[in-house]
A and B are shown apart, each in its own frame.
Chain A
Amino acid sequence: MSAWGKTLRRTWAIAAKEFRQLSRDRLTFGMVVGIPLIQILIFGYSINFDVRDIGAGVVDLANTSASRALIADLEATQVIRVEERLRTVAELEARIASGALSAGVYIPPDFERRKLDPQRTAVQVLVDGSEPTIEGVVRALANIRVPGRAGSSTLPSRLIEVRTLYNPEKRTPVQIVPALIGVILTLTMVVFTAVAIVRERERGNMELLITTPVKSGELMMGKLIPYVLVGLIQTTLILLVGVWLFNVPVVGSLIDLYIAAAAFIAANLMLGLVISTLAQTQFQAIQLSIFTLLPSILLSGFMFPFDGMPRVAQWIAQILPLTHFVELVRGIVLRGAPLGALWLPLTKLGIFFAIAMAVAATRFRKRLD
């Protein structure tokens, strides 16, 4: 048999063994299915950037037909719901301070005169700044156009039309679920390979394996293959729940999506192997894996946009595989972009994989010392 044939056989033997053990380890097997399901349900239902019907108070000192029309328009946006009408700004501020209201609209007595003067604002919107999401949403109300020039106020004024592309209803699950595939895979994949190697070292299996003709490259690949499969199963699971439960539309090609997912899974598994060469115990391996998880969630663009991040954070984000996967998966699932148009993030995942493999291979020696 050729050297390559032998290598293939040994790699396959390790992969098959690993898969068999995985299917017998009930807890890990439960994690494969359980973690994605629980995570997607929690994230899908709880994370909601799409805030509606914020309780608001109104102080309308103008009380003209135009001011009443404006309030009706504001309510029509569904961003705020007028819960109280008050007589003074002081009263309004007191209600916001007590937390009874989150926002307020103040229309001054000289509203009609002010709205004709382009230099002056005509209406003041007050918002509780202690809630960042609400603050951001209400701030958008400032874009509302005050009823037009004098005489033309018979027509109701129009909002500046904000047309949100690809997620016209602005539903959070549509943004969250595709990227959530990445977060969940980061959560499980890194730990799986890290622990798979360290566990064999702890149980003494590695001492035996090292004295057999198995090469370290074969060992690494044999450990990787079963978990690529596990990762793709998880991807499928999250997608199915996303489509069925949260009506996430999959615009792009499924094949492209699976290619991107496989590349991302391989990158994370390799990171797990690097961790396994650093950690002495399973506990250390898990600690190190978690250490990589938090920056991934915070910096990858999954929750917060890059634009707001300092330069250093953006650099760190470039190192994280999740960053590139979020870009890939949103492109494919939501915008229907072909993989060819997304070659850059895909290449970056490839580079990450190659570097991690080089690090793991140099650190992974077939010796105990």
Chain B
Amino acid sequence: MTTTPAIVARGLSRHFGQLRAVDGVDLTIPRAEIYGFLGPNGSGKSTTIRMLCGLLQPSAGTVEVLGYAMPGDAEKLRPKLGYMTQRFSLWEDLTVMENLLFIAEVYGLGPAQRTERIQSRLTEYNLLDRTGQRAGTMSGGQKQRLALAAATLHEPELLLLDEPTSAVDPQSRRDFWESLFRLVHQGTTILVSTHYMDEAERCHRLAILDRGRLVAEGTPKTLMAGIDAAVVEVETDDIEGTLAALRQVPEVESTAQLGTRLRVLLTRSATDPAATVRQSLQNARVAAQVNAAGPSLEDVFVAATGERRERREQRAAVAGQA
């Protein structure tokens, strides 16, 4: 097993007219790990994956995938690459078996190998009793299992999965992730994009993308430890009053409601953030329980993306005017 990274990208960018879908992304993705792309819709996850497998040409920057320069060496990479598109992209008017046979033919598997691999995938992904069913009539979870079976039929070294669980129920998602871990144990490198926090948390490493830029990178643990904010949890019956009070506190950067609780992110510079929040709520005469909290991955995500950054920029602009 080589120790060079599976994917190395430097300054990877892709523009569609004025839109910078991907903007100067650097990536180093180690082998035999699950690497996650976490980001809101339109953050550039799909575009990045498409550049990694040679479907799109980068506007700037370089990418090496399994040692092959993209998109120039794309053809050499193909046999070692498995790709699962965001949308189901096998043939809905073909049966499960016909789809798998076609993919096996396309990857040039021999007759014996073909039978053995298809049989093992059908067992692994619980599709044995569906071989004669047309793909178009299957449920979201079944389609996704079929797509994974097809993408792994040729035992690729690298598996690119573009939001594989977006049309799938929670039980199927858990099963799906167990399959991914089995693949990683066999030495496969997996790159998966998602917008689910629980999925992101299961990745070995994670890149958070926002508006085409890579805004945070690392293992979920280091990301949570290194969060650029303090987290405070407020429990109250008067959510409206609390929100109004917190709006007056300059250190507060964002709030998110979880039932009767509010998770509040404050700037790191705030000394004793819980006390600051408690004080402001007392001043506003709002009854509330305030506690300092450990950061979650969602806090990391919120701190790194959209809303908070906008606020910061607004504040900077106001400061500039004043």
Contact = CB atoms under 8 A, between A and B. Distances in A.
Given A211-B53, A367-B55, A205 B108 contact: no
B107 A212 contact: yes
B105 interface: yes
Interface string B73-93: 011001101010101111111
Interface residues of A, number: 28
A1 interface: yes
Contact of A211 (B81, B87, B98): B81
B78 A367 contact: no
A161 interface: no
Among A1, A9, A207, A368: residue with most chain B CB under 10 A: A207
B106 A369 contact: no
A203 B78 contact: no
A204 B88 contact: yes
A9 B108 contact: yes
Interface in A318-369: 366-369
A207 B103 contact: no
A213 interface: yes
B57 interface: yes
Residue from B57, B75, B106, B107 having most chain A Cβ neighbours under 10 A:
B106
B85 A13 contact: no
Interface of A: 1, 6, 9-10, 12-14, 17, 20-21, 24-25, 203-205, 207-215, 366-369
Interface residues of B, number: 29
A208 B83 CA distance: 7
Given A10-B106, A17-B102, A213-B106, A204 B56 contact: no
A366 B50 CA distance: 12
A90 B262 CA distance: 103
B93 A213 contact: no
Chain B CB within 10 Å — which of A9, A12, A211, A212 has the most? A211
B56 A368 contact: yes
B168 interface: no
B75 A10 contact: no
B25 interface: no
A214 B89 contact: no
Given A21-B94, A205-B89, A367 B71 contact: yes
Contacts of B108: 1, 6, 9-10, 213
Nearest to B14: A369
A287 B280 CA distance: 67
Contacts of B53: 211
Given A21-B93, A204-B89, A369 B57 contact: yes
A211 B93 contact: no
Contacts of B81: 211
Contact of B85 (A24, A208, A369): A208
Q: 8 tightest A-B contacts by CB?
A: A13-B105, A208-B89, A204-B89, A211-B83, A213-B78, A204-B87, A368-B55, A212-B106
Contact of A13 (B74, B75, B89, B106): B106
B54 interface: yes
B91 A213 contact: no
Contacts of B79: 213
A17 to B, nearest CB: 5
Contacts of B55: 207, 210-211, 367-369
Contacts of B57: 367, 369
Given A210-B55, A211-B81, 11 more contacts: A14-B106, A17-B98, A17-B102, A20-B98, A24-B93, A203-B89, A207-B87, A211-B83, A367-B55, A368-B55, A368-B56
Contacts of A9: 105, 108
Contacts of B107: 212-213
A165 to B, nearest CB: 51
Nearest to A218: B106
Interface string B174-208: 00000000000000000000000000000000000
5 contacts: A10-B105, A24-B93, A203-B89, A207-B89, A367-B57
Nearest to B134: A24
A6 B85 CA distance: 25
A12 to B, nearest CB: 8
B78 A211 contact: yes
Given A13-B102, A367-B57, A21 B91 contact: yes
A207 B87 CA distance: 10
Contacts of B88: 204
A209 B54 CA distance: 12
Nearest to B147: A208
A237 to B, nearest CB: 25
A369 B56 contact: yes
Contacts of B89: 203-205, 207-208
A257 to B, nearest CB: 34
A213 B71 contact: no
A205 to B, nearest CB: 5
